[in-house]
Structure 1
Amino acid sequence: MIKSNPIVFFFLAWSASFSAFSQGNNTKLSLSDTKATKSTTQLYQNLQKLTQKGILFGHQDDLAYGVNWKYESGRSDVKDVTGDYPAVYGWDLGGLEKKSDKNIDGIPFDKMRQYIKEGHSRGGIITLSWHFDNPLTGKNAWDITPKSLVSVLPGGESHEKFKSWLDEAVTYIKTLKDKSGKPIPILYRPYHELTGTWFWWCKNNANPEEFKTLWKFSMAYFQKKGIHNLIYVYNTADFNSKEEFLEYYPGTDYVDILSFDKYQYNDPTKDNSFVENCQKQFKIMNEVAKEQNKIMAFAETGYEAIPYSKWWTDTLLKAIGNYKISYVLVWRNHGWQESEKKMHYYAPIKGDVSEKDFIDFYNLDRILFEKDAAKAQLYKK
């Protein structure tokens, strides 16, 4: 038996570690927007590097309200429990298209702007979705009247109206600036859950080429109007194969981050399908990400009211497994939902059955909150 040389052993261990790191960072990522701002490009590249360290935790509407409170300066249900803010803040543009002063969740756009600036100033990351109304019928985003998507394409009967809606977003996004007046980099997740069947832009309402045309047109329109601080997030609902994930995919030159949304509905102590399905989808998405050198994310997830005490360190971590994803975001803490007579929240509150487990989750080296994001200085080289 040959005795091991400690120097050789160290070198081999270092080489293996470096090789594993390099596999995820062998090519410097370039954004789909070739004119992206410096800080936007820097954020994107730093997000790639950070996937080797851990996963950023996000929460929708975190600073605006929580269970039994609204618009309290500096407050956050996540911070109430952990002493730290989430690293990623989710917000929605729904309502801009009809010139409303409030978004789809009832948050005044002026307040939302301030929250976005606050989160960014502390080192956090901003992501935007858009539950806009159906442009063909004027009904909400969940109206799946046939040909609604086709109507917004060039030459369609709703095209000019749709362009005016995009103009509203352009105007608003241009007001999202940091203290020095520079545009705040944003992870923009348009036409989310596109492989579902519940929004007017979903796959049941258009063929692949029509959807790709919509994506590319919207992206080009924003850039033509001078918007160069967006990182584009492709987002699906369920899919069962690589072919299905890519069927409506606009192409590697038009996407920066790959993601899907999936929620827990059944008791995880009796039904493991959430974990199994997430693992299946991450495996497929990871293959695409490696081929195209893209970042991955779990853009929306959660378990309403979190009735399982170990959901964070048991179920959610198992669902993600060992995949190198950039961030995971849970949905909003609306509180009591009168229409359905139940509590509606996805991040734990003080006294919640999963509060202790969420603190354990927070303390994991692999899970990153805002203090970790600030230390990483994601907007700097």
Structure 2
Amino acid sequence: MKDHLQGRLAVEPKLINPAASDNAKRLMAYLCSIYGTRTLTGQQYGVVSTPEMEVIRLATGKYPAVGGFDFMNDSPSRVERGSVPTDTPLAIDWWRRGGIVTFCWHWNAPKDLIDEAPDNGWHRGFYTTATTFDIAAAMNDESSEEYGLLMRDIDVIAVNLKRLQDEGIPVLWRPLHEASGGWFWWGAKGPEPCVKLWKTMYDRLTNLHGLNNLIWVWNGQHQDWYPGDEYVDIIGEDIYPPERTYVSNIDRFRQALGYTAANKLIALSENGPLPDPDKMAEEGAPWLWNCTWYGGFVCSQDADGQWGVGEQYTEREMLLKYYAHPYTLTRDELPDLTAYPL
């Protein structure tokens, strides 16, 4: 046992929502049971094309345990401009095939998009550089149009989350991600308005919309942005080492341990290159799951347009090692999460 992990891996399978659904409780119980001894393989679906899962299966013979999805194209300011939501049906299919579902939300600002080519088009409206939307002003005035639009957008996402709940699907829900970086509008004005929005979103989705299938994954990546133990089920870190750099990311794991004195599950909620599972075990960085980002992080297209393993970030050899390693779990190794003992 690494010194920094002494007593920190025993996490009680209790969710922050006292009315959590049975399947959410089952998933949490399973996650707590493997924490510190196994890591769930994971992969984000592409937003435009989605070859990632089949590329991994053809290369390794396995599907990842966790499928990553995004409500990006459900954002009303994108739908208004012609984007087509895709990920809710994909997630339903993934769950039916035995996988675990995690969702993030690249939330296009609800108004004040700069919409200037090439770098700040409307489709990049979640970036601070592509909008003048002011989260601080919005959260300071609940009678404002801006605040109302934030609530409208949350309500739209709630409809999708309700579809997932109706299917019995527990969701590892990771909104307002990477906030402390400041590159997304929800993090552009410092911790206070972002934390307020997190708490408001929790209250609205849980108490107004009755969404009890959510396991709340906080991914603020800095202690000042931590909303409190009563608002966080799981802590996530997003880490992008240089190309073909296979490390345990132990420093970031230790950082995540330091956000709270409470024992919380900690996941590698986004990654570029895969972490080396041998180093994770040796150095004491037992990430609960990883979720490799999509596109070039895992696959590439040849001259004929055929998809295959892309080795720019993770070489095939490491991909094969990761998916075959005794420390990692793939989709075929998951229990029936609709019947897991509570």
Which TM-score bucket, shorter chain as reference? 0.7 to 0.9
* Aligned equivalents of 1:215, 1:379: Cα separation in 2: 31
> In the alignment, what sits opposite 1:283?
254
Letter in 1 for 2:203: A
CA contact (8 A) 2:272 2:313 kept: no
Indicate whether 1:119 and 2:103 are aligned.
Answer: no
Which of 31, 37, 45 is equivalent to 2:29? 45
Which of 35, 38, 44 is equivalent to 1:54? 38
Gaps of 5+ in 1: 1-15, 68-74, 238-244, 269-273, 304-310, 338-342
> In the alignment, what sits opposite 2:232?
255
Indicate whether 1:322 and 2:284 are aligned.
Answer: yes
CA contact (8 A) 1:81 1:349 kept: no
Using the size of structure 2 for normalisation, the TM-score is 0.80
> In the alignment, what sits opposite 2:136?
150
* 3-state DSSP of counterpart to 2:57: helix
Q: CA deviation at 1:227?
A: 1.1
* Aligned equivalents of 2:37, 2:89: Cα separation in 1: 30
CA contact (8 A) 2:243 2:313 kept: no
Q: CA deviation at 1:292?
A: 1.0
Q: Cα gap change, 1:103/1:348 in structure 2, threshold over 3 Å: closer, same or farther? A: farther
Q: CA deviation at 1:329?
A: 0.7
Pairing 1:57-72 to 2, within 5 Å after superposition: 57-61=41-45, 65-66=50-51
* Structure with max Cα Rg: 1
> In the alignment, what sits opposite 1:200?
185
Pairing 1:187-226 to 2, within 5 Å after superposition: 187-202=172-187, 205-223=188-206, 224-226=208-210
* Aligned equivalents of 1:351, 1:142: Cα separation in 2: 25
* Aligned equivalents of 2:175, 2:262: Cα separation in 1: 20
Indicate whether 1:171 and 2:156 are aligned.
Answer: no
> In the alignment, what sits opposite 1:89?
67
Q: Cα gap change, 1:317/1:379 in structure 2, threshold over 3 Å: closer, same or farther? A: farther
* Aligned equivalents of 1:53, 1:279: Cα separation in 2: 16
Letter in 2 for 1:281: R
Identical residues among aligned pairs (%): 23
The 10-residue stretch of structure 1 (350-359 or 51-60) with the greater mean CA deviation from structure 2: 350-359
CA contact (8 A) 1:92 1:103 kept: no
* Aligned equivalents of 1:103, 1:84: Cα separation in 2: 38
* Aligned equivalents of 1:80, 1:265: Cα separation in 2: 26
Which of 289, 298, 319 is equivalent to 1:358? 319
Coordinate RMSD, CA, aligned: 3.5
CA contact (8 A) 1:134 1:148 kept: no
Q: Cα gap change, 1:150/1:379 in structure 2, threshold over 3 Å: closer, same or farther? A: farther
Q: CA deviation at 1:336?
A: 6.3
Q: CA deviation at 1:157?
A: 3.5
* Aligned equivalents of 1:351, 1:152: Cα separation in 2: 41
Indicate whether 1:32 and 2:16 are aligned.
Answer: yes
Pairing 1:286-365 to 2, within 5 Å after superposition: 286-288=257-259, 291-303=261-273, 313=276, 318=279, 321-333=283-295, 348=309, 354-365=315-326
Q: Cα gap change, 1:103/1:379 in structure 2, threshold over 3 Å: closer, same or farther? A: farther
Q: Cα gap change, 1:37/1:377 in structure 2, threshold over 3 Å: closer, same or farther? A: closer
Superposed CA offset, 1:314-360 (max 9, x none): xx7536842222101100126669xxxxx9x9x93599982233212
Q: CA deviation at 1:267?
A: 6.1
* Aligned equivalents of 2:259, 2:78: Cα separation in 1: 39
Q: CA deviation at 1:266?
A: 5.3
CA contact (8 A) 1:150 1:156 kept: no
Q: CA deviation at 1:136?
A: 4.0
Q: CA deviation at 1:22?
A: 7.5
Letter in 2 for 1:90: G
